[in-house]
Amino acid sequence: MRKLFFIILMASALWGTAQTLQQINEEILKYERCFEQLSHPEPKTVNHQLSDGTNIDVVQRTDYRNKRFLQADPDVRRLNVNIMDNQDLTQWEIQEASRIFDDAFGVGPAFNIFAHGISDPEGGSTGVRIGGKDLTPQQTAELILRTLDDYELVLNAYDRPFPIVLHTCNSAKGSDPFAAQLQREISKHIKNAVVIAADAPVYAQIDADGNYIETIATVAPKGNTSGRKWIAFDSNCTKPISPDWKKTVRTVASAWGIQ
């Protein structure tokens, strides 16, 4: 879609200096429907080659109309999902992975990333592992942008907070955690990006009704009697919002008016 937006912006420049930013955004939004034909809501494995030469395979789902996106490791056994019951880990992951991804893909607008969180010896988060590769904040941001395929220009035209959820362990842990670094990097391209992450292990469970539940380790930080919450990182602050990641997304994305 890059050529299309180049043409739009060149045309805006030719219309004269009277063209305001609001008018340019309105022109961009007129072409939002062009992205809908690119949607692929069913899981597919996609290979991305990053600018540094790194090749990475991800399971990818896109729904441009509802602004919902998902990336995950193609080998669900590498996710290192923490299970809260006695089911066999490998078999549970293989059988339930699609339900996990369906559950997350139904919440938005948001970009969901399922990966394995990486920490340093002191426990601070440093990266994520996906497709068998350890990724830096810069590489993760590029992977997000390659999936969006220039849709970040539409998101910027809307000028509303856009959640990026890290379904990874400990990615909000540390003095300068991975989630904060990713937010700084991705906000160079998505100006209102809000990265949501946990500062402890993330646990998965299927309840008695067959619903997927994702929770943070229940041991609360010292002095905090309310338990751990998903933490939102934006360009201005860091804020714990809710123990429920879905409520956190809906709080951050409330300006969109869709669930």
Helix axes 178-186, 137-148, angle to 10 degrees: 50
149: alpha, beta or left, given left = phi > 0 and alpha = psi -120 to 50? left
CA distance 151 to 145: 8
Torsion of CA 89, 107, 36, 148, to 10 degrees: -70
Displacement of CA 154 from its chain's centroid (Å): 17
Res 18: pLDDT: 46
Domain residue ranges in the chain = 1-31, 40-256
Mean pLDDT of all residues in 200-205? 82
Residue type, 74: P
Is pLDDT of 211 > 80?
A: no
18 or 138: whose pLDDT is higher?
138
pLDDT (tens digit per residue) in 84-101: 444 444 555 556 667 778
Q: What is the pTM of this model?
A: 0.86
CA distance 211 to 134: 31
Q: In this structure, what token pair is assigned to residue 155?
A: 């998101």
pLDDT (tens digit per residue) in 123-139: 889 999 998 899 999 99
